[in-house]
Structure 1
């Protein structure tokens, strides 16, 4: 049976785990549905014969077709990179709620431009629409994880932020299957390919309407000196009256943390950026977060998402419908993996263990696929049906998906939404989202050329990178599960080994809980902690020193 127990940082009333916090998280993370849909539908859409005929791509050389395909796909990532950076001022000045609303409006405009494209207008309007939609996605990918991290109770924070990944995979499943459906049921023509582009308007419109129903982040409201509004919002989200001790304590903790952070950086727009770039500790954290997305893309996920028909053809799958069907099954496996990660793995096993396991298992699968292609050479020996070796390669590809989906797919988003203090969180998340889209852009832009030039070497390349990611995670990525946001600095304390950090800080929190209960008081996190290791070694960790 799935274990859904919660390990709490302090005694928590059951009211806190109510439908309101889940509904707010679902609405915010619905932005990821738009991302998942695009990552799945665009590669299969441009592979349709109807799309190639509409824009006269069937007569292009391999090099020309690779370039056009890469441009169509990667314009979205280029826009998302710019949007992720833009998300910082949007999140700072407009907040999380209205920032997401603005992103939804921009996305709908971009989706409309892509939908009205035809042969007489040309591909230019598709390029423009994908850049505009990408800008919106960059903003949303910045703000959605931040918002959820800020409203979530610590015990279910990973699960709630993980909804972002779940929504991503739901969008992906729809995107992977829609082109199979239109290719199977509609004749070759304009309607066949344009339907998939038009479907983008559905998640965009739903986010636009849903964002109006969000409760603004109490942490952002306090950062804007709107403490009364913050109390109302926090009380509503927690489903407790403002005078309840839990609300009073959480509000006091938020106010104290933000006041302390302001004393370090000031309250201005540029203060968070200055705070990051003058702090060695935060720069190291920024580099760590960015590298998480390097290793995520190093698994090969975006090459597979955006060019899945090419991937399956390299293994030996022939025929457009067969390729699209195989891709659709891949999408379903990713969704199931995301569900397992969301309801069980992320808050039970934490971040480090799942990343290491995903890299190890995924690398073995990629090496097998590379070996099969190198030996069987399916591209040089085409058949009307898959050979037993080809079927085993497909099985290992699906096994790779099982290893990847509940590990590297969503964990970097959860991790980078957690590890930065409030006063730099919007700026740091902008950098994290921009990192993701930059690396995704590079993969999307050069994958077609890589497969043409490297063949099975592409699989060896990604497999080897996954192996290299294992010591990186062990040596540099401290565990963050169940750690309150106000205590993340303790996790990154100087001299504290990443592989011992979580146990050390949790022991400290439990020690404080016992001390407060012994005095008849309720536990409240502080910025200075006495950390005890193995019952003998004590280390005083000062919040100011770390930041």
Structure 2
């Protein structure tokens, strides 16, 4: 009897086990809340992808052309304006968004962004029979979408624990790929299932934009405001409640983190009391701003965005025109989703940010240059056939390998990376400049790609390959490592060359 009693844990051991169990429960709950917050705010990424992918198919529908009274001679002009004005709105919103996020916070800014986008989407859905009204609606939707793309990376970076920041920050790109994928199949479904004389054929895909937009706006009611923004505004009690919510408790580590955040904010405010735009031109700040601009410019220069908009045209260079190019584009969308998902779920916090960006660019360069060589020597037939030649199969495989590499590197990583490299004082304008470059070159490359394809043919692949090679070299020379570091630690790093870490 005495021996059996001696095997039971003492009361002190019971308390210790209870504390360990509570800590484990809190950690699990904290991860769930972090994933929920990331999913809600990154619905802006889904909206971005869906909106980008849906319009191309809609503009080719006979029902839309009939309702808006334009023919094939006006197709290119209409496509350019419908896509370009949305991107112009997004570009302009980047410079309007950061003062908004600073004054009202990340949460309210995203709610306003959602509301503005919904206004634009509603006008697009109404059958106005007026292309100018449709163009204005695209511009309005672009303003809402652009503002969201500025607020999302800030919100994510400021609320995530450092060990989850890369993974959840990469949700934006993953959700973007889901949006693109959904748009391809929605367009395909309504085109086949609804008569071309019925306006619902184009109104359904356009109107469905309201669903993710409403989820983004209403989802804000389920999450707290950014802890760092609240601390910056002197709302310390609310900031502490926000941090407790996202970390699911008030452990010693949470208390330490709160003290670190407060110390970081106080140090930044003491350094310079009133922010002025000219601060962005100061040596260290300018290097960070330029890095953000360059990273997002490089993201667009990989060629992936051009593929997202003009997939069928690219695949027609390989297999010829016809239904095969549409099927290959749909498969391309599925590959994007799977590749980005695998990276986000299993590799985003296990791999070096810097090394992945360098390696991804180098691999994409090889894929594009090899594709250019094959297409040059084995051109596609003028009309697509039922049988794809071996050269076509090889180049299709190379393009799918390219999109896998992109979604393991330059697709998801620029979003968390750019939001990490700025101290809190200049994070809003810094991220805004970076995202503005994303919108600017999104516009530039989407506008020029159709002309590149028609005039350069296989040379288009070669051009993207050269761009990717340059990106790899520049990333090796200048990018720094941020994985596993707190935002405060990154903010105190100086941007100077280092053989092992680039900047660091």
Q: What TM-score, normalized by structure 1, do the two folds share? A: 0.83
1:263 aligned onto 2:266: no
Post-superposition Cα deviations, 1:253-280, rounded to whole Å, max 9, x if no partner, equal 11111111011221x4xx0634322x20
- Name the counterpart of 2:439: 437
- Name the counterpart of 2:182: 174
- Name the counterpart of 2:292: 289
1:18 aligned onto 2:46: no
Of the three residues 143, 162, 170, the one matched with 1:162 is: 170
1:451-530 correspondence runs (5 A): 451-494=453-496, 496-497=497-498, 499-500=500-501
1:211 aligned onto 2:220: yes
Measure, in 2, the Cα distance between the counterparts of 1:260 and 1:272: 17
- Name the counterpart of 2:46: 33
Measure, in 2, the Cα distance between the counterparts of 1:142 and 1:302: 18
Distance apart, 1:221 and its partner CA: 0.4
Distance apart, 1:422 and its partner CA: 0.7
Measure, in 2, the Cα distance between the counterparts of 1:393 and 1:173: 21
1:499 partner SS: coil
Distance apart, 1:387 and its partner CA: 2.9
Of the three residues 78, 91, 94, the one matched with 1:81 is: 91
1:111 aligned onto 2:115: no
CA contact (8 A) 1:345 1:354 kept: no
- Name the counterpart of 2:348: 346
Measure, in 2, the Cα distance between the counterparts of 1:158 and 1:483: 11
- Name the counterpart of 1:46: 59
Of the three residues 311, 324, 347, the one matched with 2:314 is: 311
Measure, in 1, the Cα distance between the counterparts of 2:359 and 2:146: 29
Distance apart, 1:396 and its partner CA: 1.8
Relative to structure 1, the CA distance from residue 385 to residue 128 in structure 2 (aligned partners, 3 Å threshold; closer, same or farther) is farther
- Name the counterpart of 2:234: 225
1:411 aligned onto 2:413: yes
1:53-452 correspondence runs (5 A): 53-60=66-73, 64-117=74-127, 121-189=129-197, 190-241=199-250, 244-266=251-273, 268=274, 271=275, 273-277=277-281, 279-320=282-323, 322-378=324-380, 380=382, 383=385, 385-452=387-454
> How big is the alpha-carbon RMSD for the aligned residues of Structure 1 and Structure 2?
2.1
Count of aligned pairs between the two proteins: 479
Distance apart, 1:469 and its partner CA: 0.9
Measure, in 2, the Cα distance between the counterparts of 1:227 and 1:196: 44
Measure, in 1, the Cα distance between the counterparts of 2:68 and 2:80: 15
1:155 partner SS: coil
CA contact (8 A) 1:39 1:172 kept: yes
CA contact (8 A) 2:97 2:432 kept: yes
Relative to structure 1, the CA distance from residue 55 to residue 370 in structure 2 (aligned partners, 3 Å threshold; closer, same or farther) is farther
Distance apart, 1:385 and its partner CA: 4.5
- Mean CA deviation greater in 137-146 or 51-60: 51-60
CA contact (8 A) 2:292 2:431 kept: no
Distance apart, 1:357 and its partner CA: 2.1
1:347 partner SS: coil
Distance apart, 1:288 and its partner CA: 1.1
Measure, in 2, the Cα distance between the counterparts of 1:272 and 1:398: 46
Post-superposition Cα deviations, 1:210-255, rounded to whole Å, max 9, x if no partner, equal 11222101100011111111111111221113xx422321111111
1:47 partner SS: coil
CA contact (8 A) 1:44 1:307 kept: no
Unaligned runs of 5+ in 1: 1-12, 506-547
Measure, in 1, the Cα distance between the counterparts of 2:345 and 2:134: 38
Distance apart, 1:490 and its partner CA: 4.2
Relative to structure 1, the CA distance from residue 354 to residue 196 in structure 2 (aligned partners, 3 Å threshold; closer, same or farther) is same
CA contact (8 A) 2:305 2:442 kept: yes
Runs (4 or more) in structure 1 with deviation over 6 Å come to none
Post-superposition Cα deviations, 1:505-535, rounded to whole Å, max 9, x if no partner, equal 7xxxxxxxxxxxxxxxxxxxxxxxxxxxxxx
Measure, in 1, the Cα distance between the counterparts of 2:204 and 2:326: 16
1:216 partner SS: coil
CA contact (8 A) 1:298 1:466 kept: yes
2:321 partner SS: coil
Measure, in 2, the Cα distance between the counterparts of 1:114 and 1:413: 29
CA contact (8 A) 1:366 1:459 kept: yes
